[in-house]
Structure 1
Amino acid sequence: MRLRIITSIIGIPLLLGIVILGGEVLKISLGFISIVGMYEFYKAMDIKVNTIKFVGYFFALIFIFFIFPNTQLYFIFFICFLFSLFLSIIFFHKKYNIIDVGVTFIGFVYVCILLFFIIQVREYTLHGEFFVWLIFISAWGSDTAAYFTGLSIGKHKLSPELSPNKTIEGSLGGVIGGALLSFIYGHICIYFEYIPISNFPIMCAIIGGIGAVASQLGDLTASSIKRYVKIKDYGNLFPGHGGVLDRFDSILFTAPLVYYLIILYKFLF
């Protein structure tokens, strides 16, 4: 517990600074986290398969430094990525197979692509610098609410085989907590006149509640993978918290959801 608190005391201000600065600082930071996260994923999956790591890392670096955020190049990029993976099972057919291709490709999409939606939200033209915090509020805020709700009134197990400590009551508390915290955040933005949108708190509450559901699904997905390869944590980059995927598993699902909810809101209103 002491390690978790110390890591949070150091990590939270660092995260705040990186997200506030945005730009290249945020991109390089997420690039580093992505590579570490992919390393953790590949290392875990190598217990069951034989990931084509050198191709995965190479194209991750290409994506981070040369492709993102130019979405017009995404199609050709993915074609080249898959083509290179298929070449690997031709020239190294004794070492790799089609399962290794699929797992390697999934590792890149699961970690790098989903994580980079944080930048997509942060750089969004319509108040992206404020919307980006909904990712962390709906993920980590709801996680905290779920923990304390489950601790106090949790009785019915949510998914005992994947995550024995999670309860249905805790899950519902997390969704309510994510929506409530996001609603409060929206009111703060309105109060200080950061955003001239009258219904912004309601919008934040909706995003926060849906984001909380996504964060729990992300957490259960990571737990399912860990159960499959029989490991407790992906790594130890964050003392007391585990690795990148242990700390950002909920963020991976929440970030793209928040991005597309913002687009949907703009389209509808």
Structure 2
Amino acid sequence: MFKQRLISGIILVIIAFVTLYYGGFLTFFVVGAISLIGVFELLRVIHMEKSALGVIVYTGSILYYLLLLLGLEQYIIPLALLVLIMLIAVYVFTFPKYEISSVAISYFALFYVTIMLSCIYRIRMLSDGAYMVVLVFLSAWGNDTLAYCAGRLFGKHKMSPILSPKKTIEGAVGGVIGAGLLGCLYGLISKNFLSVHYNLIIVFGIVCAVGGLISIIGDLGASAIKRNYDIKDYSHLIPGHGGILDRFDSIIFTAPIIYYMLVMVVGLK
């Protein structure tokens, strides 16, 4: 099991590196494909992956990415409204085939998976985006790894005993601090390649620490959904890791937070 997980992890890292290094349409296509698979996995939890509701969300996700690609972001809110109207239309005209909870979760999938994951592509398209997008993975996966280590060494107080019995407060603190230190180290390395008006060590450290903190919510959120529907993994797409949502659960929350920190606080464009 460990060997399978290790091999899959290495392949994932290679795919992520190549995708983010080249940027442009490759990043757009890969992130878009990952989003669609993630939407499918979430809809399958409620058995709506092949329904009319699912078709509307898939279509909305594709149109959303096309708007990003074409630089027509002013139409994203109208698209979101249109998707909601279409979902409600199907709900009322086929009543009582679907429950309102299915409609709500289908709409939730558009935001939770498609829009939030798209921030990986958004970060990559910023100035020096090839360097900035690394912060997402440093904070999310770095926090996850270092929180595990800190929890094993110092963990005594359960953070969420019912939802995730193995996670501890000490592990969470260690993960956030560790993610921040990784950000500082990355800033120290990156300052040799980037010419900016701010201190990369401090900025990257803060960004990764905040991203690491938010990634905990993303991780626990995905676990809570699985607990609600009594499933172990969202799929078996990635051997040893589960599905897209199992592997990207923390990144789903980390990516938009880091994107808006870079845009609204740091001032990247």
| Letter of the structure 2 residue corresponding to residue 88 of structure 1 | V
RMSD value over aligned CA atoms?
1.8
Contact 1:122 1:131 in 2 (8 A): yes
Alignment match, 2:115: 113
Contact 1:51 1:101 in 2 (8 A): no
Alignment match, 2:139: 138
Q: Does 1:185 align with 2:186?
A: yes
Per-residue deviation at 1:31? Answer: 1.2
Structure 2 alignment gaps of length 5 or more? none
The whole-number CA distance in structure 1 between the counterparts of 2:253 and 2:67 is 24
Per-residue deviation at 1:264? Answer: 2.8
Contact 1:45 1:51 in 2 (8 A): no
TM-score (norm 2): 0.93
Alignment match, 2:125: 123
> In the comparison of the two structures, how many residue pairs are matched?
264
Alignment match, 1:79: 81
Of 3-12 and 105-114, deviating more is 3-12
Alignment match, 2:42: 41
Per-residue deviation at 1:130? Answer: 1.2
Contact 2:143 2:178 in 1 (8 A): yes
| Letter of the structure 2 residue corresponding to residue 132 of structure 1 | V
Per-residue deviation at 1:181? Answer: 0.3
Per-residue deviation at 1:267? Answer: 5.0
Alignment match, 1:265: 265
The whole-number CA distance in structure 2 between the counterparts of 1:74 and 1:211 is 25
Of 192-201 and 100-109, deviating more is 192-201
Per-residue deviation at 1:252? Answer: 0.5
Alignment match, 1:238: 238
The whole-number CA distance in structure 2 between the counterparts of 1:199 and 1:45 is 47
For 1:59-78, what aligned pairs fall within 5 Å after superposition? 59-66=60-67, 68=69, 69-78=71-80
Alignment match, 2:104: 102
Per-residue deviation at 1:198? Answer: 4.9
TM-score (norm 1): 0.93
Per-residue deviation at 1:101? Answer: 1.7
Residues 116 and 59 of structure 1, relative CA distance in 2, 3 Å threshold: same
Per-residue deviation at 1:137? Answer: 0.2
Alignment match, 1:32: 33
SS in 2 for 1:32: helix
| Letter of the structure 2 residue corresponding to residue 151 of structure 1 | R
The whole-number CA distance in structure 1 between the counterparts of 2:44 and 2:144 is 26
Of 259-268 and 81-90, deviating more is 259-268
| Letter of the structure 1 residue corresponding to residue 112 of structure 2 | Y
| Letter of the structure 1 residue corresponding to residue 190 of structure 2 | C
Alignment match, 2:205: 205
SS in 2 for 1:94: coil
| Letter of the structure 1 residue corresponding to residue 97 of structure 2 | K
